Amino acid sequence: MTIRHVVSWKLATPDDAERAQHAAGIKLGLESLPAVIPQIRFLQVGVNVVPANDFDVVLISDFDSVDDVVTYQEHPAHLEVAAFIRSVVASRASVDYEV
């Protein structure tokens, strides 16, 4: 069984340049995690290119189990990235499902 973990974020700033900077920071931070969190089987981060969409950044990641998702979420490296993300987002949506 594979668990797919998907998270989307709407950034808080209305400024285009600042939004691009925050999105790039989120992408860079999340993409650094597979090197230090072995439970991550796949990780992809996308930055929205269509302004009318509801969210600005999306994470798609795969894990072998729900326990591995929890381990990832509690890992200090993830907590550090998550703190930055929380500081720049207005809203978040997530779903975890079996693939």
pTM score, whole prediction:
0.95
Q: Which residues contact 32 (CB under 8 A, 6 or more apart)?
A: 77, 81
Class assignment of domain 3-98?
Answer: alpha beta
pLDDT tens for residues 8-64?
Answer: 999 999 999 999 999 999 999 999 999 999 999 999 999 999 988 999 999 999 999
Domain extent listing, the chain: 3-98
- List beta partners, residue 42: 62
Question: Residue 36's pLDDT is what?
Answer: 98
Cα 64-67-73 angle, rounded to 5 deg: 100
Q: Which residue has the tokens 């209305």?
A: 14
pLDDT for 35: 98
